[in-house]
Structure 1
Amino acid sequence: MKRKFHNPYYDIAKKYRDNGNPDSAFRVFNQAKEFGIENKDSLSTASSLINMAILLTNAGDYFGGQETSIEANKYLNEDDTNHHYYLGSNYNNLGIATYNLKDYNNSLKLYDSAIKFSDDSLDTRMYLNNKAMVYQEIKDYKSALKIYGQILAKTSKNEQEYARVLTNIAKTKWLEDSNHNPVPDFLKSLQIRKKENDLWGQNSSYAHLADYYILKQPDTALFYAYNMYTVAQTVKSVTDRLEALQKLIKLSPPKETKHFFNVYEKLADSSQNARNTAKNQFTLIRYETEKSKADNLILQKDNDGKRYQIIILAFGIILILFTGTILYKKRKQRIELEAQNSIRDNKLKTSQKVHDVVANGLYRIMSKLDNQETLKDSPIVNEIEELYEQSRDLSYERPKSENHNFHEKIFDLLKSFASESTRVILVGNSAPLWEKVSELAKDEIEHILQELMVNMGKHSKASDVVIKFEQVQQKINIYYSDNGIGIADKPRPKNGLTNTGTRIDAIGGTITFDTKVEKGLKIQISFPVS
């Protein structure tokens, strides 16, 4: 990063960052920030905060990344050209964090600000590429292709950048038109990346090729998925290894699927723990800095004994509040979900009673009156008929729900049943899987899965629950398995299971209980896509 200031902590922090030690880098950048504030060096302070914000965003703490970037902007002057480079970098980080929080409109505006203050052509093309990715995400493919075309025209001397843009153009054209064949451009980019020894680029090419062939030629997709996994291991990218393992689980023969699933499960757990540790560590570093300032004031007014008592008390309160808040939010979410589902079921039952009792009763009265010549054309018959139509329309009303991000809704629902004694693992629950599923089917499947998880929580005593989602031709299959006590015989048709059977019948699906396994329970749910 460009700079025109002297800060003894800054270079040390950069070395930690470049050597892959984000915790140490964050801590020393925080010291560099404090040094800048003490010496009234706004550029030094801003640059340190920007680096801290980028580290937070990279660790998945997008709210923390936003907050720190906004703080950095307070020390930058848009009218000072020496600050423009830092403004461009900072707005780009804000754009990335906002994009990952799915606030796409504001993300586009932030990338525009990054481009406005960029004084380097390579940086400008990077910010443009990020903006194009937002358009691709919101399916505005024409705008995305227009930007990629602008970038491509200026990348003739940079082979790696040319390969990246060529790949993005091919993928966008394929997303825009499923009949478009992106393979020639994908392979051309792959050859360039091999020649340039660009392992990260090769990883991207193998991922795109596997995605393209996954439905057309599964064997070819499996070949590219293996290549992606190998390269991801070489570059030590946990995210890409997880993505490759998901493809291998879906495409591999049954014997190999179990192996890849076990690898995926261990890697996913360790990755999540590492990300949580990093975010907590960054939070703790900033907390310790603020606490240190408070301690210095206390030392001036009180003795050592009181100081330690306050520190211990403050730490205990924070720990209790932090733990209590998490437990409260989790319990509140589950109660709200159960209440919403109860209200929805009651509305459906009420509407059905309206149809069975009121509408059908009115229809019988109308039939009798129609058979009496003296009353056949009476206004009262018309009024009864109008009341019948209204009651029938009311009975057909169903609660409506907005399920645009249904995969996230299912993720939140199933993960809410995880606890210290029970792990819940999801495989294949992606946005594309649910795109063509009807709202009715989504609603019923949500209730079915909730019922299964409630039964699991009450009766199974399972420590591991795995739910796998897949689409085979025009059917969605959901495989549930746990290592609990299982069901000794056929499931007894209590209210929950009866409702589950009714719901799956309503969408033309089937549900199968496998009670012959040695331990635990396996259930398969299948239903048509539309």
Structure 2
Amino acid sequence: MGNIQFDYGDFFGTQETVLSSLRYLNKNVESNHNLLSLAYNTIANSTAKLKQFDDAIRYFKLAIEFTKDAEIELKYKNNLSVCLRDAKKYDEAINLSQSNLQKSVYGSRDYAMILNNLAKAKNLQNPEYNPLNDYWLTLKIRDNYNDLWGLNSSYASLAQYYTGVEIDSSLYYSEKQYQIAKRLKSPDDQINALKRLIEYSGDNQRQYFTLFLELSDSIQQARAAAKNQFALIRYEVEKNKADNLRLEKENAEKQNRLIRQRVITGASIFLLVLVAGGGTLWYKRRKQRLELEAQNRVKETQLHLSKKIHDVVANGIYRVMSEIEHGDEVDRDGVLDKLENMYHQSRDISHDVEQQTITETPFNEQLASLLKSFAADHRKVLIAGNDAEQWDDISKRIKDEVKHVLQELMVNMKKHSQAEQVVVRFEITDRQLNIFYKDNGVGIPEEKSKGKGIANTVSRIESLGGKITFVNEPGKGLNITTVIPL
């Protein structure tokens, strides 16, 4: 499922699906290693597509660690070198590509692939480096094999190199790439070729732009459909889980009734024979019955929660997806309202579960969950210094106020700042808790600087004997420093 989602361009879906598959695989079982290697490579490719290069590099290294096939290992190492190049770690990318080139067979497809990536990395590191000899050798090898995907890559590399150097050559190779990409039915490669053709082609610019718009619309529709293609499968799985829990409950009840009948019959017989022996047996049977009833109550609670999740979340999401898929126009505000309603309902379910949980979630995990809930596709939330042990000696009152203050700051950030990156760092020095907040948004507008939310934040910190300082640079971001004595 994850690989299919990747082919359709649903990279977030790929990450979620393939990560969920890891719980079925054991690193300590050698027969699982090939699948682990494939899973890590797929996660790394989707993560690289989302430009999360540091995470992608880590997963590529895991894929290489678990593969036992030398040919596949070479491909994964080439993927890693491309990721290092895209992350602008050119020295590492070049060193790895040179090592890969030595391990490949001269004139093979792998040799052409590695050589092309090596030449591109050298040119990006040093614009004075001329990669043409390597590009042409690569093109010749791929042409001999009639390797269409390889030719597509070579034409793209040549077109990119000639951009700003020789426009006619760039147009020539862009047109070649476009024709190959059409044969391969690769929309992303067609889009990349069309962008160059639109920018530099004078006479045919309108024609290429029309093709670009049609292809872009087609890709968006296909990817929107791809995101929902496994929704029905997941819905059926959750429904089957609820049905199975219901059947388990019914079987447990039948077993409980049977045991009760045996307890009564056995107790009656033994009471007639020997009061002492009967009393002992009754005690044992009663203990067994209580254990079974306790198990039955647990299963009933599981069934109740599973049904509630199925009815509230799964059905609600499925209805929203159906409206989006079959409606002529999408009512964005209506969809957001429905999703928000489902969000609050699911929070209520979560609250019910927390009420029944004996073990409380560690405070550092509560904070991490709170802060990460404000992350989005266009916004990163980074946390530092949130170690579990540093919260052990801090009072519940301080923890509660810190949690409320951070929630207020993050809500204000989401509503007003337009920030793309938020950093929250915790530090304990000289018996005082320091909290540093920074974002790269627009800062606090003048009309919001005296709002009720900020006043409440200041009041909470001062009630602890602490101090909170706002450094506001409109258009550049916001720095907040909080100091609380312990």
Where does residue 190 of structure 1 map in the other structure? 139
User: In the alignment, does 2:206 pair up with 1:261?
Assistant: no
Q: Give the partner amino acid of 1:105.
A: D
Q: Counterparts of 1:233 and 1:315 in 2: how far apart (Å)?
A: 39
Q: Report the more deviating stretch, 74-83 or 125-134.
A: 74-83
Q: CA deviation at 1:201?
A: 0.6
Q: Give the partner amino acid of 2:213.
A: E
Q: Counterparts of 2:7 and 2:31 in 1: how far apart (Å)?
A: 26
Q: CA deviation at 1:115?
A: 1.1
Distance 1:347 1:136, change over 3 A: farther
Where does residue 7 of structure 1 map in the other structure? none
Q: Report the more deviating stretch, 120-129 or 157-166.
A: 157-166
Where does residue 115 of structure 1 map in the other structure? 64
Q: Counterparts of 1:126 and 1:269 in 2: how far apart (Å)?
A: 33
Q: Give the partner amino acid of 1:60.
A: G
Where does residue 225 of structure 2 map in the other structure? 277
Q: Counterparts of 1:153 and 1:297 in 2: how far apart (Å)?
A: 57
Q: Counterparts of 2:339 and 2:197 in 1: how far apart (Å)?
A: 33
Where does residue 436 of structure 2 map in the other structure? none
Structure 2 residues not aligned, in runs of 5+: 251-308, 322-331, 341-373, 379-411, 419-440, 450-470, 479-486
User: In the alignment, does 2:170 pair up with 1:94?
Assistant: no
Q: Counterparts of 1:311 and 1:346 in 2: how far apart (Å)?
A: 43
Does the aligned pair in 2 maintain the 1:167–1:189 contact within 8 Å? yes
Residue 156 (structure 2) aligned to one of 178, 185, 207: 207
Q: Counterparts of 1:82 and 1:283 in 2: how far apart (Å)?
A: 31
Q: CA deviation at 1:336?
A: 7.3
Q: CA deviation at 1:313?
A: 8.4
Where does residue 174 of structure 1 map in the other structure? 123
Structure 1 residues not aligned, in runs of 5+: 1-51, 303-309, 351-393, 403-530
Q: Which digits, 9 at most, give the CA deviation of each residue in 1:256-297, with x for residues without a partner?
A: 111111111011111111111112112332223322443566
User: In the alignment, does 2:37 pair up with 1:83?
Assistant: no
Q: Counterparts of 1:87 and 1:195 in 2: how far apart (Å)?
A: 34
User: In the alignment, does 2:323 pair up with 1:318?
Assistant: no
Where does residue 289 of structure 1 map in the other structure? 237
Give the number of aligned pairs: 299
Q: CA deviation at 1:203?
A: 0.7
User: In the alignment, does 2:195 pair up with 1:246?
Assistant: yes
Q: Which digits, 9 at most, give the CA deviation of each residue in 1:144-176, with x for residues without a partner?
A: 011101110111256111111111011000000
Residue 327 (structure 1) aligned to one of 309, 312, 336: 336
Corresponding residue SS for 1:74: helix
Distance 1:264 1:329, change over 3 A: farther
Q: Which digits, 9 at most, give the CA deviation of each residue in 1:392-438, with x for residues without a partner?
A: xx99x664259xxxxxxxxxxxxxxxxxxxxxxxxxxxxxxxxxxxx
Q: Counterparts of 1:146 and 1:313 in 2: how far apart (Å)?
A: 53
Q: CA deviation at 1:328?
A: 5.3
Q: For 1:409-428, what aligned pairs fall within 5 Å after superposition?
A: none
Task: Using structure 1 for the length normalisation, give the TM-score.
Answer: 0.50
Where does residue 73 of structure 1 map in the other structure? 22
Corresponding residue SS for 1:156: coil
Distance 1:325 1:127, change over 3 A: farther
Corresponding residue SS for 1:102: coil
Task: Using structure 2 for the length normalisation, give the TM-score.
Answer: 0.54
Q: CA deviation at 1:344?
A: 5.3
Q: CA deviation at 1:198?
A: 0.5
Residue 171 (structure 2) aligned to one of 215, 222, 245: 222
Distance 1:210 1:343, change over 3 A: closer
Q: Which digits, 9 at most, give the CA deviation of each residue in 1:459-507, with x for residues without a partner?
A: xxxxxxxxxxxxxxxxxxxxxxxxxxxxxxxxxxxxxxxxxxxxxxxxx
Q: For 1:433-444, what aligned pairs fall within 5 Å after superposition?
A: none
Q: CA deviation at 1:312?
A: 9.2
Does the aligned pair in 1 maintain the 2:442–2:477 contact within 8 Å? no
Does the aligned pair in 1 maintain the 2:442–2:475 contact within 8 Å? no
Q: Give the partner amino acid of 1:176.
A: Q
Does the aligned pair in 2 maintain the 1:160–1:192 contact within 8 Å? yes
RMSD (CA atoms): 3.7
Q: CA deviation at 1:180?
A: 0.9
Corresponding residue SS for 1:99: helix
Corresponding residue SS for 1:79: coil
Corresponding residue SS for 1:216: coil
Residue 97 (structure 2) aligned to one of 137, 142, 148: 148
Does the aligned pair in 1 maintain the 2:107–2:141 contact within 8 Å? no
Corresponding residue SS for 1:281: coil
Does the aligned pair in 2 maintain the 1:56–1:282 contact within 8 Å? no
Q: Counterparts of 1:103 and 1:330 in 2: how far apart (Å)?
A: 27
